[in-house]
Structure formats: C-alpha cells, structure tokens
Chain A
Amino acid sequence: MSGAGRDVPGAVVSLVLLLLGAGSAAPLAGQDTTAGKRVYVKWCAGCHGDTGAGDGPAARFMLPRPRNFTGAVYKIRSTASGQLPTDADLQRAVDDGLPGSAMPAWKGRLSDAERRAVVAYLKTFSAFFADTSQHVTPLTFSREPSSGGGAAELKRGRQFYDSIGCRKCHGDQGRGDGPSAPTLKDDAGFPILAADLHQNWRFRGGRTTADIYRRLRTGLDGTPMPSFSDLIDQKFLTDVELWRLAEYVRSLSPADSAEVRDVIHAPRIAGPLPVAPDDSAWRRVERYWFPLVGQVIRKSRWFAPAVTGVWVEAVHNDQALALRVSWDDRSQSPDPTWRAFEQRVLETVASDDSSTPRAELWPDQLAVQFPRRVPDGMERPYFLMGTATDPVYQWRWTSQPPRAVAGLARGIEQFDTVALAPATQAVYDHGEWRVVFTRALATPDTANDVQLTTGRAIPVAFFAWDGSSGEHGSRMGVSTWYFLALDRPTPPSVLLSPIVAMALTLGLGLVVVLRAQRRGAGV
C-alpha cells in the first residue's frame, strides 16, 4: 500500500516530465507533417524514395547517392560527429541545396512553409528524431581570426595539412588523389571521392573558410571524413591552428568562384609560342573555366562524369595557336591501383548497358572540338561530335599511348583521322593534367582542317574521359559550344587614336586655361 502510495506521485511526476519534455523538445507535435508529406511525395521521392531510404527511381543514376533519411546520418551539420543535425542544418540543405551533388536549392521553388514542412516530414523517417534522449547541441564555433590569410599563416596551415595527414586522402596538392583515395567507400558501401580541394564551389557544406572550419570540427557523417574536434579538446591542435588549416584549404581554390565566360581570348604574342605545359608564359595568360556534364543523350549514357570541368588558356603568334587545357583527375590512367574503385563506380552508377561494364585499364582522354569551317552565322554542327552529314574537326589526346591525333568525328562512334595532328606536350602533376596543343593557324588540308583566323569567333567544345572511373567511348564528360577568339594584330590606327585624343584634350585644356588667365589679368 505504501509502495502504491509512493508510486502515484512518481507516475504524476513522470507524466508531467513527459509532457514538459514533449512541449520543450516538440519534435513533431505542432508541425504539420501532412503538408510535408505532400511536398515530399511530389518533389523529393523521385530521388529519396517513398520511404526515405534514398532509393527513388532516379537514385541509381547518381553518385553521390541521395541521402537515406532512415538512419538520420547527415553530412552537413553544426553538431558533433554522430549527433543528429539541428532543424536549421536540415533547413539549410533543403533551402540552399548541396553543391557538387544532384540536390538543388529549393528556396524560390518551394514556399517557406513548404520547405519547413518537408523538413518536419523527413524527420519522421527515423526514430532518432523522436528519441528525447538524443543530444542535439550545436558546437560552439569560434570566429575566424582576423589575422589570417597571409603567406605566413597559409604556410602554417600547410604544415598542419601535412602533420595531421590530410594528404592521405586529399593528396599532396589537395586534388583528392591521396594514397587512400582509391579505397574510400561511404557507410552504404558506395564508392566516394575524397574532395578535390581546388573546387570549393563543389563543397557540400559551402565554400568559405568558415564553412571549411566547421566541416573540420563536425566531420561529414556517413563518409570517411572524420571530425577534428577531439584534437582541440585534447590540446593536440589549437582552435586557431585549425583555422589556419581551413584558410590553407580555402586558398587552394580560386579567390572568386569559377565563373563561366563564353569566349576564350587568345592574345597575340611576338616570337615563339609556349609549347611546354609549364612554360612561364602561361602565367601571364588569362584562364577560362568550362564545366563538363555527363553524356546522357546517346547510349551508353553516363551520369557521373569524373572530370567536372576544364581550364583553358590560349595564345597565338599569327602563325600558330597554342592551347593549354588543364583539368583535375585523381588518377594517371591507366592505373591498376584504381581498378577496384573503377569497378565499384561502374556497379554503382546505372547506365543503359545491358550488363555492368567490366573495369578496364582505360587511358585518360581529352578532345577539343571545332567545326570544320568557322561559320559566318550562328549555325554550328551538332555539339555532340557532329553528325554523319555534318562532321566536326577534333583533336584527340590520350595518356596511353601519349599522343594526339586530329580527325573528323561523325557522331560519337565514328572518327576518321586526318593527316596533320597537333603537336602536344602533357604533364600529370599531383592530380592535374596540363596538355598543350599547338597547330598552325592555316593548314594545307583546307577541306577538313579548321582554318583558324584572327578576329573571328571560332566555336570550340571540350570532352574528357577519366579512364580510372570507367570512362571510355560514350561514357564521358561533355561541354556545350563556346568560342575561341584569336586577337587581331593591332592596326596602327588603334595606337594612333588615343594619342590624337590626348593631344586634342591637352590642346582644348590649354585654350581654356589661357582664356581664364587672360580674363583674370584683365580684371
């Protein structure tokens, strides 16, 4: 009886605590998951699946795969490794999307209420969110030290990059080509790439130094990227030192985001062209970024292009053109150490092949495409390697055998070489290919070779293959048409007119001054 008497207040207390707990945590109460479900089914389930398991009909074409919500494991959080994300973390991913993945930003496409509702709904896919014993406490992030970013600080950052072993996965120069990179898998067993730290616009959690610092603190759960917070707790590294590392990582990418401009300006230089990939003359030439996307038009389609874009620079000397193409590639293919990784990629990314292609030791390849003749109007051949009746002129370079040929492509399948190949020099340097193509502007075979003339907008397009990602044939990264413009020799009138203008300005100025002085003297 006394026992029962003791239990009654106990039960009341528990009930009150339960109600209080439910009120304060309010995991789902008061949030409308019906509305969220409507939004989810319409906009999200195609990739993330009806049950939130990341297995919608489109998922098998994606690498990285869509998030599986059932485990409540999220990459981009403000919380410690293993903790659930905050609502704000989830909201940010929905609102802003995840760069470098198929996840778009939904701000502007869905209303504020819809976006909030879908976050509430996706939390219902895992029991962890309803478990009140889970700690969800954002880490306390320090502010970016105001002193950072100078050469000395970046050098310090680089020291930590080496001493804490970032290079093991991200590589010596940060292009995701470290010795452990070919072995990496995510928690679901899918192949995962160590981030290319030279492409911060593809960082899932954002491109700024502060974003990078936060990823170092929290880690990316579900991936091989660990949290470095324990190092600060154990005084292995100070917080400022972690900021130095973040600053160094940020410094590897361009200061401004890689902006796509349509026209490559090739300045005219006097004397010999820089034919070597590392000729110092290239440092004085502006570079242009062209993104590549998977070839998904013709069979076999390819949804996971390994080369995400190319940097292009060009110069000419009235006689010949030198075109340098640089791109990040984690492997110097053919490379047997990546073969198992390649097999996993081919097994993960569905295509329309009848069976999964077998991993082979393919080379890396690059193609630069021009029309056969520079068009007068806007009419250009079909961008995807021309057609049977309207071929395109291409330079095709392979890493193995290391050479380039020129030829006419009539669609993806047909390529007929022409007599004159461009001269090429290539280097593979810590995850980056730099290849220089050189060719005379005018060639004898005017019927087949594009005749490069100054002052014209010459259509140009790029294609790239990473052999170690299983890319070969139609499995490739493609660009659309852009333009190459070879600067004209400067006509004397261009040089003269500023002088004339300056002389006129000076003369008029003198007249005004003299008049003013004369009037002043008269008073």
Chain B
Amino acid sequence: MHKLSVLAVVGVAVGAGVWGLGLAGWTRSPAPQGGATITGKIKFVGKAPPNPVIDMTEEAKCKAKYTAPPREQIVEVNPNQTLADVFVYVDSGVAASYKAPAPAGPVTLDQDGCRYHPHVFGILVGQTLAIKNSDGILHNIKAKAVKNRPFNISQPGVMTSERTFATREVMVPLECNVHGWMHAWLGVLPYPFFSVTGTDGTFTLKGLPPGTYKIEAWQEKYGTQTATVTITGSETKTHDFSFAAK
C-alpha cells in the first residue's frame, strides 16, 4: 500500500514532467516571465504654459458636458508638481525571444465631450483598438501612422470601429479634423512594458525579466528623455525623470 502510493506519486510526477516538457515543446520558447519592476515619477520644474481653452461653440452637445470651459491637454501638471500623460516605455533591451502574453482585450479610445479619453495611451502590436464615439455627432478619427498604415474613418453617430496596428511605432498621432483641437497619442509596442502617468505622476513597468533596458519618457510638448536601468532579479528599481518648462 505504502509502496503503491509512492509509486503513484512518482508516476504522477513523471507524467507531469513529461506533460510539462511536451507543453514546452509546443510553445517552443516559453516567455521568460520576469518579476522586476521599474517605477518612478515624472517631475516638472518651472511654470507650464496654460493649455489653450477650447472654443466648442460649434458643438453645443459637447459644450453642454462641461461646467468650466474645457482646455487642451498639452501639458498636464499635477498638484504635486509632476506631469500626467507622459508615456514611459522600454525602448530597447528586451530579448528578441521575448513573447508578449496575449492581450487581455481591446483598448478603448472614447470620444466624449469632443475630447479623447485617454489622451495618451499604449497598445500592443495586433491588439484591437476600439474607437468609440459616445458623442453621437460627427467625428473622424485619423491615425497619422508612418511605420504602420494610416487610416481615416468617419463616425457620424454613436458607434465603435475597430483597428489594429501591425508594427511598433511610438507615437502615432490621432486626430479629428472636424474638431481641430482633438488630439491623442498612441504608442504601439510588441511588449507590455509601457505606462502612462496619471494624476500622481508615477509610472510602473512591471514583469521585466533580468536585463539592461533603455527606458524612455515621452511628453507631447517637451519630447523625450531616456535612462538606462539594469535588472538582475525580481527587484523594484526606481528612476525619476524631470522635465523643465521651456
């Protein structure tokens, strides 16, 4: 009885091992799932130029969605003197063999109140971008891609259109020509190592395997800054960026 159970355990273990090997064979090279994190803040020094006020007189339906006159989102300074809407991503250093996990679902870009939500965002190569028109008035959505093929589609009512991007491109400008103030920025990457700062100005790049990475922070007006960060295990490393008013 005792011998038998030992045998059974051994058998199961061997079976699992064989199955595991088989699985490894199927997926060829399994993604080196890293456990490291790079995080940091996007600090801002100086006084930002005020974002231009948007004149929505022509679009009463959008104008009605605001209590205060809406502004463009060119430089968004947080109360803690950090910047929102900064796209931080791993520019280089990711092994060519790295296979990104399948995207969880589509990324949604919403046109609401004649503004894009989000204003800056990232997407995986091949991941579906769902472009939603919540306003129910005419928008056109134009992706001025250069490495990917561009597109320009009309959405004259509440509807959702889907598109994908075939290759890495940072950043793809998105715009509406009916409403000249509507701009969004899209970073297309083959791996999920990107982050957009929010109201606290922090970014977090998770799940990095060991390696030396060049990371870049992109801001709509102030351009890019880069840093090199080396990961050895599953630690969390901090690197802050600082942009100055021009």
Closest Cβ–Cβ distance, residue A328 to chain B (whole Å): 21
Which A residues from 154 to 186 make CB contacts under 8 A with B?
A: 163-165, 168-169, 179-180, 183-184
Q: B149 on the interface (CB 8 Å rule)?
A: yes
Is there an interface contact between B180 and A180, defined as CB atoms closer than 8 Å? yes
Q: B138 on the interface (CB 8 Å rule)?
A: yes
In the complex, chain B residues whose CB is within 8 Å of the CB of A236: 156-157, 159
Is there an interface contact between A179 and B58, defined as CB atoms closer than 8 Å? yes
Is there an interface contact between B159 and A219, defined as CB atoms closer than 8 Å? no
Is there an interface contact between A71 and B140, defined as CB atoms closer than 8 Å? no
Is there an interface contact between A168 and B138, defined as CB atoms closer than 8 Å? yes
- Which candidate, A35-43, A223-231, A289-297, A417-425, is the interface stretch facing chain B? A223-231
Q: B155 on the interface (CB 8 Å rule)?
A: yes
Interface of A is mostly: loop
Is there an interface contact between A234 and B156, defined as CB atoms closer than 8 Å? no
Q: Closest chain B residue to A178 by CB distance?
A: B178
Partner of A83, one of B149, B154, B157, B178: B149
Count chain B CB atoms within 10 A of each CB in A184, A219, A226 and give the residue with the most: A226
Q: Closest chain B residue to A163 by CB distance?
A: B156
Is there an interface contact between A224 and B156, defined as CB atoms closer than 8 Å? no
Is there an interface contact between A224 and B149, defined as CB atoms closer than 8 Å? no
Interface of B is mostly: loop
Is there an interface contact between A164 and B156, defined as CB atoms closer than 8 Å? yes
Q: A128 on the interface (CB 8 Å rule)?
A: yes
9 closest A-B pairs by beta carbon, nearest first, are: A165-B138, A224-B177, A183-B180, A82-B151, A164-B156, A226-B140, A226-B154, A82-B149, A226-B152
| Bound-complex Cα distance A69 to B155 (A) | 28
Q: B94 on the interface (CB 8 Å rule)?
A: no
| Bound-complex Cα distance A228 to B140 (A) | 10
Q: B179 on the interface (CB 8 Å rule)?
A: yes
Residues 144-160 of chain B, each 1 if its beta carbon lies under 8 Å from chain A, else 0: 10100111111111010
A residues adjacent to B (C-beta < 8 A): 71, 73, 81-84, 128, 133-134, 163-165, 168-169, 179-180, 183-184, 187, 219, 221-231, 234, 236
| Bound-complex Cα distance A180 to B138 (A) | 12
Closest Cβ–Cβ distance, residue A97 to chain B (whole Å): 24
Interface residues on B, range: 20 to 34
Q: A165 and B159 in contact (CB under 8 A), knowing A179-B58, A230-B154?
A: no
Q: B62 on the interface (CB 8 Å rule)?
A: no
In the complex, chain A residues whose CB is within 8 Å of the CB of B154: 164, 219, 226-228, 230-231
Is there an interface contact between A219 and B149, defined as CB atoms closer than 8 Å? no
Is there an interface contact between A81 and B146, defined as CB atoms closer than 8 Å? no
Q: B166 on the interface (CB 8 Å rule)?
A: yes
Residues 200-226 of chain B, each 1 if its beta carbon lies under 8 Å from chain A, else 0: 000000000000000000000000000
In the complex, chain A residues whose CB is within 8 Å of the CB of B63: none
Count chain B CB atoms within 10 A of each CB in A128, A165, A234 and give the residue with the most: A165
| Bound-complex Cα distance A187 to B150 (A) | 10
Q: Closest chain B residue to A182 by CB distance?
A: B180
| Bound-complex Cα distance A84 to B137 (A) | 29
- 8 extra interchain contacts, Cβ-Cβ under 8 A, other than A165-B137, A168-B138, A227-B154? A82-B151, A82-B152, A183-B180, A221-B152, A224-B177, A224-B178, A227-B151, A227-B152
In the complex, chain B residues whose CB is within 8 Å of the CB of A222: 150
In the complex, chain B residues whose CB is within 8 Å of the CB of A179: 58
| Bound-complex Cα distance A121 to B144 (A) | 25
Closest Cβ–Cβ distance, residue A500 to chain B (whole Å): 66
Q: B161 on the interface (CB 8 Å rule)?
A: yes
Q: B43 on the interface (CB 8 Å rule)?
A: no
Q: B142 on the interface (CB 8 Å rule)?
A: yes
In the complex, chain B residues whose CB is within 8 Å of the CB of A234: 159, 161
Q: Closest chain B residue to A227 by CB distance?
A: B153
Is there an interface contact between B177 and A81, defined as CB atoms closer than 8 Å? no
Closest Cβ–Cβ distance, residue B173 to chain A (whole Å): 9
In the complex, chain A residues whose CB is within 8 Å of the CB of B142: 224, 226
Q: A165 and B156 in contact (CB under 8 A), knowing A180-B180, A187-B144?
A: yes
In the complex, chain A residues whose CB is within 8 Å of the CB of B155: 230
| Bound-complex Cα distance A73 to B146 (A) | 9
In the complex, chain A residues whose CB is within 8 Å of the CB of B58: 179-180
Is there an interface contact between B152 and A225, defined as CB atoms closer than 8 Å? yes
Q: Closest chain A residue to B181 by CB distance?
A: A183
Is there an interface contact between A226 and B153, defined as CB atoms closer than 8 Å? yes
Q: Closest chain A residue to B143 by CB distance?
A: A82
Some 13 contacts from A to B, beta carbons below 8 A apart, are A73-B150, A82-B143, A82-B152, A165-B156, A168-B138, A222-B150, A223-B152, A224-B152, A226-B141, A226-B152, A227-B154, A228-B154, A234-B161
Q: Closest chain B residue to A224 by CB distance?
A: B177
Partner of B178, one of A73, A169, A231: A169
Closest Cβ–Cβ distance, residue A294 to chain B (whole Å): 27
| Bound-complex Cα distance A226 to B153 (A) | 5
In the complex, chain A residues whose CB is within 8 Å of the CB of B138: 164-165, 168
Q: Closest chain B residue to A166 by CB distance?
A: B138
| Bound-complex Cα distance A516 to B194 (A) | 105
In the complex, chain A residues whose CB is within 8 Å of the CB of B177: 169, 180, 183-184, 224, 226
| Bound-complex Cα distance A226 to B149 (A) | 14
| Bound-complex Cα distance A226 to B150 (A) | 11
Is there an interface contact between B178 and A180, defined as CB atoms closer than 8 Å? yes
Partner of B156, one of A227, A229, A231: A231
